[in-house]
Structure formats: structure tokens, C-alpha cells
Amino acid sequence: MDDLLTPVSTTYLKPRNDPEPLFTEIKTTTSQEKQKETGVISTADDAIDALRNQPDYDSLISVLQFLDSHRTASAGFSLSAPSPKNASVIHLLITEIAPNYWTLLREGNIDGDAQYEAALPPDAGLFLSCLRNLTGLNAVITQIRGLIQEARLGGKEQRRTDLSLNIGILLSVLSGILGTDGAIPAIWNESTRAIANTALQRIQSQKLSSILTNGQIVSTSAEALEIIGRDRIRDDIQWLGDGLQYSTWIGNSIVSWTVSSPGADGMAFSSELFQKSLSLQHSENLIKIAIDRLLLSKERSVSAFTQLGFSQPRSSKRVINILLRHLAQKYLKDLTLDDISPDEKVSAVAGLVKELVLNDVTRRDILINWCASSSGAGLGDGIGIRRAVVAALSQDRDAITAVLEKCLTQFGDELYIRHSAILQQDVHTQLLLLAAGYVHRISPIKLTLLMRVGTYMTTISNRIGSTQSRAQFLGLVVGESLSALVDDGKKKLDFKMEQTQTEEAQQLKSLTKVSDTISSIDPILSNPKIEEMPQKRKSAMLNKTVQKKTTQKKKPVITEAKPKAIIEEIDSSEDEDLAPYSKDSDQEDSDDDATLVQRNKPKPPVYIRDLVSYLRDSESYDKQILALQTAPVLIRRKANYGSESLTSSFLAPLAAEAADTNTGPDVLKLQTFTARYKSKTKSKPRVRAIPNTTAALLATSFFSPLTAHFQVALRSAKPIILNHALLSLYLQTLGITIHAAGPSTLSLPQLTAELWDLLLG
């Protein structure tokens, strides 16, 4: 039978078991990985999806470039305009990208020590430009505050290690956003330029000024630094938690913006920001920065200082007081009482005061009151500032006369004589004598009339009748000095006492002869240096190493040759007088081959999956060493991610049992660790809910009258209720009423129907 059937073809239903080769090629991860093309980001949704899906470095840079190119309102999306998509992008950048990529972005692509020459690498600057707006600034502060609150909930033993790392990263980001003098105008421009409505621009400006001046940046940063430890943070970040350095930064930023001649809106915002910044702790430092850079520098701008410091009358008095104190301590502290000759610095300060004060009635009145106030009059300073102020006021006849009248009235007040400090009475006496001398030279009749009234006689009588010897002495000196100006010969008042013949009395009497002129302020102009923020610790270390290298290299010393063997050399050269030059001290070129330098170094891993892939790549030494270097920090940052409930429910009971086992028998303990853990995990009794007894009254007593009277108000010819502010307040009241009624209110369907009829009808 087998011979009758011949096979035509053979088909195997199962594959043959062919012997496999002894050696098979195992492809490494580097050969298996293909270069993924970076997706094209064309819309905001694409950017959000890319940020959510743990992007690689190239994908992140493409997203940041897209966001940076869409900061203006184009294609229906603007990173500067407040919107839900904008908030989503900023939230992802702060919560997902910053903790993973900020350290890598800050290092940049520059190799060696050259990376410290620039302030920030381009990629880090691109990341910060996306956050340099009101939404980004607020998001960073809010995220830091949330991490601080989370760290405060647990003790130091239970604190997660990743919290300190993330707080430090966010502080570094915040320092990068605010760390330049041009940060404030950049944030303001980014927050307002994409908004067409003027009212919304005003709201954005108010929010920005509130964030910068309400102290939350300093307080939040200081609390964060306290949690992390200041010794673990670089010096260029710690200024955020220092009130003095923060006021210095905001002062330099405002002044730099003002000097650059901004527009009308920018100048108005900078003025508002300066006025609100006066509520900060070290506001005196802020005013001194504005004085030095806008009034006392060669590139001065009096109009800019006037708009900043005197835009609000309530703060003008404080600015003037600090201005006079600063001028006295900086230029006029060396002037003594016995020197009555004209001084160029006194004349220059008087010219500056005249330029700032006398052209405005309000500021002139403030300066007049300063001469007779208890806290003013240059108390604690030398005579120079009082001479300058009186010289400036002497240019206005009414002003200098008002100063004399105020000082004379106060000088004879009995309560003032008894209770005022002697130092205060001394400076007011000096002002009185200076003003009397100027009034006598400007209008002698006015001084004569003042001395003929009963007020002057009462003043001298109260002074002489005082029980304090110093008060009597000042009264005697003033009486003889004023009488010497007005009376002649025998009518001149002379008490013939030894007190009025002393050297101090003669110095006080000579103040009526002081006559300072108003001159140019050039003698007090200078070029103040802008206080810079602390430099980075790495750059400081770099400078130290450079200095060490330079100090180690000593210049070759030219020494005379030692006498050798007696060999006579005949040289026909005539250049014996030329001194030999030392060898060039420039560094020699490196012997490294440029072709062997690896340009495309791998980026440090920022996710656990990247770390695992780097460790598995046995063919790349760079990836292996990079993974080992970055693994500790990355694992500490990601260790507690998503495992908080597992730690508390699984590990805590095991730890309690282990503690009971190792600490001795339970009989000797008041309470075991296991019992403590169980007592902590017991559910606490819930607070008894308070019944909503007002729900029945809300519908009949509040909601129905509001809707009924609203319908009546609409029928009038000019309904006032249609005002935007009043209408929004009315609708908010209705919403609060329904919310207070609660979901169990019986009349809730009726209330809801009436509300919809009111809104949609």
C-alpha cells in the first residue's frame, strides 16, 4: 500500500524545533532605544499633555519655547492673561517640572568653570520667563506655603526628606524670579500687557503690589529657611528671608525702573508700589536708596523722586523727616556751634531742600512744623541741618516768619518748659535764634512788632521764673539776643549775669548773625554704588581658586649673574642698556585632543524610570556614573511619593511591636508602644452637628423679599439696582442665602426655581 501513495508536498502544522545557535546577540538598551522625535507643540492642550506625561529634557525645552513665544495674546492663548489653561500650565510647571528639572536647568549645558560667568543658563532663563508673571509668582509662594504646612504637621522625626529638598528648590526658583532689579517691571508687564480692559489691568496691578509689599514673601521665605536650615541653602537665596535685604532689593528695583523713564501707567504703578513698600519693616532703608540714587547722584531726577515720595500727603511727612536726617548724618555732622561762617555743604543742602519743599504748600507746612515739633528740629544731629532748613525757608518771607512765631510761642509755654527734655529745648532755641536773625535782615519791622506784644514779655518772664537752671539760661540768652537785634544803645537788654557771658552763651548769641546762601548742590553729588545681591557660593569659590592660582605664580626675579670663571667675552652689541623681559605668564594651551572631548553628555535622570534605565545600560560609563551620583538625591525626593498611607498603616504597627520587644517586659511599663499606637488610631468622637434652625426663615424672611423688591426696582425709570457693583453684591447675597439654607431645606426646589427665573428671565 505504501508504494501506491506518493507524497506530493509536505506541510508541518507545528514549527520545527531547529537547534538554536550557541551564541545569540543581546542588544543593549542603547541600541534598542531610538531617538524619539520631539512632538510639535502647537496648542495649549498639547503643552499641558506634554507636561503631565513626564517629558524628557528636549520635550520640556520645546514646551517652554512654545510658552515663551505665546506670552502675548495669539492663537487664543496667552501665558500672561489669567485663564484656566494658564493656571494649569503654571501649576504643572511648579509642582511637576520644578522639583524634577530645576537643578538640571540651572546647571545648563556649559562645561567647566565657564558656567559661572553668566547669571543663569539660557534654559533656566527660559523656564523663569514662563513664571515671571503674577500667576507664577503667586503659585510659587502658595506651593512653598503648602509644603511648610505639611512639614509643620509632623515632627522632626516624622518629617519627610523630600519636603526640605522641594522647599529648597522652590526657594531657588523664587529667588530666580525676583533676583534682578528688572524683575518688578518684567512681572508687571507680563501680567498686564495681554489684558485689554483697563479695570482688569488695575486689579492685576493691585494684586501684584499687595504680594510684593504685604510681607508674605519675607515671612514665608524665613519660615522655609528655618525648616530647611540656613546652612544648607546658598547665600544667593537667603536674602528672601531677610527684611533688610528685601527692602534693599525692592528699593533698587523701583528706582531703576523709575530712572528708565517708564510710561504713565508704569510710573503710576511704581509710585503706588513705593508708597505701599513704606509699610515694610525696613522702610527707612528704602527711602535712603531713593534719596541717594534720585537726589544725590549725578544722574539725579527730582521729578521722579517727587512722584515716588510725595504722591500721597500722608507719607510726605515721613519722607521729609528721613530726608533731613539722612542729609544731616551724611554731610553736616562735622559742623560745630562756634563756626558761623558760610559753608558750601550747608548751602548745597539748603538748595536741595528749597527745590523739594518750597514749591508745594503742603510740604512747606510740613517743614515749618518740623522746626517746632518734638521729634523734629534735627534732634540729636548737629547745627548744620538746622542752618540749612532755616536758610531754605528764608527764601519765603511768610514761611520764615511763621517759624519764628511758632518757636517763640512754644519757647514760652509753661508746660513745654517743665516737661520737655533739655536737649529738645536746646535745638528749638537754636532754631529760634537762627530764624530771628533772618527775619531781622528780611523785615526788621516784623521782628520789632513781635517783641512789642505781650507774648514776648510773657515768654521771657516764664523762662526767668523757671526752677530749672538750664531753662533760665536759655531764656536769658534769647532775651539778650533778640534785644540786641531791635533795641539800640541804652535800651538794649542786659541782665549783667555771669551765665550770659560764658563761651556757650556767646556761641548761641552769634547764631543771629548766621547768613547762609542758597547755592548749587554739586558739592554733595556723588555716584552711589548699587547694593548687589549676595553672589553665588560657587562663584565665590571659583574666585578664590583663581586668586590662589595667581598668587602661586610669582614673577621671575631678575638677579645678577654670579661670577664665573675668568673668561673674557667680547661683545660688539650696543644694546647693553636694554632690560631683559620676563617670560610670558599666560597659561599654555591644553594638550587635550579636541576630537576626544564628548560634546553630547547625557542629562542627569529626573525620574525613577530614567534612573533604572541608566543603571541597566552597562555599555555607557557616563550613564552609570551619572546614575550613581544622582541616585541618593533622586531616591530621597521620590521615596515617599504616593506611599504615605502604606507607611502609616503597615510599618507603624510593626515598629511599635519591635519597640515593645526591645524595651523590656510590658509589666514594667505604664503603657506599651502598641497601646499608644492603637489609642492614636482610634477614631475620635465626631462633633455633634448643630441643627440648621434658620433654614425655614431664609425663604420667607430673606429670599422672597429680596426677589420681590428687585422686580419692583426694575420697573422704575432709572433703576439703581442695575449698577454693576450693587448688582453683583445683590446676586452674591442671593447665592449666600441659598447656600445657608442647606440641602435639607423643604423649600429648596422653590428657591432654586425662583433664582433661575430671576437670572434667566
pLDDT < 50: residue spans in the chain:
1, 12-17, 20, 22, 24-38, 110-118, 534-570, 572-575
Cβ contact 618:27 at 8 Å = no
> Does some domain include residue 574?
no
pLDDT value of residue 33: 41
CA pair distance 136, 139, nearest whole angstrom: 5
CA pair distance 348, 330, nearest whole angstrom: 13
Q: Which of these three, 524, 559, 576, is where a domain ends?
A: 524
Handedness of CA 543, 545, 547, 550 (dihedral sign): negative
Residue whose cell numbers read 502675548: 72
Angle of the 302-309 helix axis to the 344-357 helix axis, nearest 10:
60
Which residues have CB under 8 Å from 148's CB, separation 6+?
167, 220, 223, 224, 227
Residue 587's CB is within 10 A of a number of other CB atoms, namely: 8
pLDDT value of residue 650: 57
Side-chain-facing half-sphere of 749: CA atoms under 13 Å? 1
Cα 174 vs. chain centroid, distance in angstroms?
10
CA pair distance 656, 225, nearest whole angstrom: 33
> Does some domain include residue 594?
no
Cβ contact 168:233 at 8 Å = yes
Question: Which residues is 297 bridged to in the sheet?
Answer: 526
Cα 173 vs. chain centroid, distance in angstroms?
13
Which residues have CB under 8 Å from 740's CB, separation 6+?
694, 695, 698
Same domain, 490 and 628: no
Cβ contact 127:169 at 8 Å = no
What's the burial of 596, exposed, middle or buried (CB within 10 Å: 0-12/13-18/19+)?
Answer: exposed
Reported residue count of the chain is 761
In 558-584, which positions are buried (b, 16+ CB within 10 angstroms) versus exposed (e)?
A: eeeeeeeeeeeeeeeeeeeeeeeeeee
pLDDT value of residue 35: 36
DSSP-derived secondary structure for 104-161: HHHH-S--GGGGGTSSS-HHHHHHHHHH-SHHHHHHHHHHHHHHHHHHHHS-TTT--H
SS3 of the chain: helix, strand, coil, percent, to 5 = 65, 0, 35
Q: Which of these three, 524, 559, 580, is where a domain ends?
A: 524
> Does some domain include residue 38?
no
Coil vs helix vs strand at 596? helix
> Does some domain include residue 358?
yes
pLDDT value of residue 537: 42
Q: Is 377 left (phi over 0), alpha (psi -120 to 50) or beta?
A: left
Which residues have CB under 8 Å from 637's CB, separation 6+?
99, 161, 162, 165, 166
Residue type at position 530: I
- Nearest Cα neighbor of 33 from 610, 571, 425, 486 is 610
Cβ contact 353:370 at 8 Å = no
Same domain, 624 and 700: no
Total domains present in the chain: 3
DSSP-derived secondary structure for 242-262: -HHHHHHHHHHHHHHHHHT--
Cα 247 vs. chain centroid, distance in angstroms?
7
Cβ contact 639:166 at 8 Å = no
Same domain, 723 and 631: no
CA pair distance 357, 354, nearest whole angstrom: 5
Q: Which domain holds residue 384?
A: 332-524
> Does some domain include residue 18?
no
Cα 438 vs. chain centroid, distance in angstroms?
46
CA pair distance 432, 409, nearest whole angstrom: 10
- Nearest Cα neighbor of 680 from 642, 648, 658, 722 is 648
Coil vs helix vs strand at 77? strand
Same domain, 467 and 355: yes
> Does some domain include residue 324?
no
pLDDT value of residue 689: 59
Coil vs helix vs strand at 297? strand
Q: Which grid coordinates belong to 184? A: 518688578
Same domain, 370 and 486: yes
Same domain, 631 and 700: no
Residue whose cell numbers read 529638598: 165
pLDDT value of residue 194: 80
Q: Which grid coordinates belong to 189? A: 508687564
Same domain, 613 and 712: no
Q: What are 403-424's pLDDT values in tens digits? A: 999 999 999 899 999 888 889 9
> Does some domain include residue 624?
yes
Same domain, 500 and 390: yes
Query: CA gyration radius for the chain?
Result: 40
Q: What are 86-138's pLDDT values in tens digits? A: 889 999 999 999 999 998 898 865 444 444 434 688 899 999 999 999 999 99
Q: Where are the beta strands (DSSP E) in 631-696?
A: none
Residue 351's CB is within 10 A of a number of other CB atoms, namely: 22
Same domain, 478 and 620: no
Same domain, 399 and 513: yes
What's the pTM value of the predicted model, to 2 decimals? Answer: 0.69
Residue whose cell numbers read 477614631: 683
Q: Which of these three, 458, 489, 524, is where a domain ends?
A: 524
CA dihedral 357, 360, 362, 365 (to 10 degrees): 50
- Nearest Cα neighbor of 119 from 536, 445, 400, 425 is 536
Same domain, 445 and 340: yes
CA pair distance 57, 128, nearest whole angstrom: 16
Coil vs helix vs strand at 31? helix
For the chain, report the end-to-end CA distance as a whole number of angstroms: 98
> Does some domain include residue 581?
no
* CA angle, residues 88, 94, 97, in degrees to nearest 5: 100
Q: Which grid coordinates belong to 391? A: 536758610
Cβ contact 242:285 at 8 Å = no
Question: Which residues is 526 bridged to in the sheet?
Answer: 297
Q: Which grid coordinates belong to 660? A: 515593645
* CA angle, residues 101, 107, 111, in degrees to nearest 5: 140
Q: Which grid coordinates belong to 412? A: 514760652
CA pair distance 162, 639, nearest whole angstrom: 8
Same domain, 346 and 427: yes
